[in-house]
Structure 1
Amino acid sequence: MTTANVEHFREDLDVTPSIEYINEVGHEFTSALGMNDVEGKAYMALLRTGPITASSLAKDLNIDRAKAYRMVEKLSADGFISMSFSSPKKCIPIDPENAYAACLERKEKELKNFREMGKKIIPRVKGVVCARFGSNTPSFRILHGTDKIYSAIENLLEDDSKIVYMVTTSDDVAKMYHSAIPEKITKLEERGGKVRLIIDIEDRKMIPFLKRLNATDVRLGALPSNGRMIISENSLVMSNINKINEDPSKDYALSTNASEMINSIFSLCSLLWKNSKDVDV
């Protein structure tokens, strides 16, 4: 390495990351761990500042003390922080690598248990029902929780639709990146389908998430609400929830295969697409 390269390398080490970059990294990491926005900010604050009391954490985040104590209990139960034996007790963040490994181990165990349960229960269910499977009768389901909603979107992307519209916020796109949705989009495109994504704001820091989502085309448009509309030629997942990032457990959506409703919403999305402008990703 030349002297000039060494000096340039030293200069790079002295560059302080911008607050925007710090927030982006923190949001991406804590979303992967399944934390909501406030929990993620709390965990990242502890990593940056070191152990502090729940009361001080509430003050730093400008949230109610009772809410802060409940949040600390949840983060502790999930294995992301530990508590000191001092008085008052201090919140000690778990190392990011260990936190990620613990989260991965927990999810793998849950997935294994779920698969084993499915092998046992599905044959039993089929043995006690007599209804014909695959009925075309229109149906509606209320989905409770972001995980279940994303699972329904993943299933929607598995059909043979030629076009799927995804109309949602940029924050929702950032969360979708941590699900199986990008992989399902890629497989749909391999089958000859297209995914048209319409987002609400043109924020340059969201470009990496837009790229990773793997949508065929992306456009910027005026969304009819702060929720989401994911629609294929056969299925619809739709929600109209403000601040969908605040608490995943309070995220609700409607899922249906009703043709009349699907045709109406599909026409609306087509119109939104025509009136939107391209986003260069």
Structure 2
Amino acid sequence: MTLSENGAGRVWFITGASRGLGRAFAEAALEAGDRVVAAARDTAALDRLAARYEGRVLARTLDVTDRSAVFAVVEAAVERFGRLDIVVNNAGTLSMGMVEEFSEAEARHQMEANFFGALWVSQAAVRQLRTQGSGHIVQVSSIGAVAGYTSSGMYSASKFALEGMSEALAMEAAPFGVRVTVLQPGGYWTELYTRMRTAEPLEAYAPLRAELERQWSQAESEPVDSEPRLAAEALLTLVDSDAPPLRLLLGGMVYDLAFDVSRQRMDTWARWEEVSRAAEHPVPEPSA
């Protein structure tokens, strides 16, 4: 059993805890002897979990895009268990489509769920964590933040924004004893794709879309995703570490991709080094 400073199991706050990775994270924490505040839009799926671990699960209905509701639920969690130790920003959605195809409402919906929701939880949580002088915020990002891809531009945008915010948060929270880690998972068998939204297609992109469908159909001929349990095991290893990283890749595929993308970027930067350096030459501040 893992213990918090008061001798009881650590207290987790997990969003999107009713299914997928969030559910796997909650189950792993409970099996480790910890306590879990499980937040989700629909908590009915958490009833059996709460019954199995009586007294160690606090299920709360929460729409993370509602900032005031987020702060209220975090306060209720602290009131119930006295503290927070690990906060996992897992709630999110997937919207697919070419960048041009997204309406304003669709683009904003993607950002509200994946970026602003995580921002509100981070703000509410860090207030408590810095006050108590300890804690760990884990932001669930995506392979989509390693690089942008055709038809996942809005999703990648939301995850890139999440990672930029989290890098700054990590620096700001560190003096208070609070750690921040960004998880970058590859593919897992969750309901992300079955629940995704799709922008209204434009005919101009029909050939490109047909090529994507051909590639996806080839990929579907053999299993490519993993069990969420494996991600949960990695998360437990992460939060048990005395020196957790700012970023953690989850899966061999995303690991290889991250290195490939990084090498390509470094090669491009090197080829254009002369132009890059010529674009900057410090001079005294011009007079008014």
Q: Is the TM-score greater than 0.5? A: no
TM normalised by structure 2 equals: 0.24
TM normalised by structure 1 equals: 0.25
Largest Rg, 1 or 2:
1
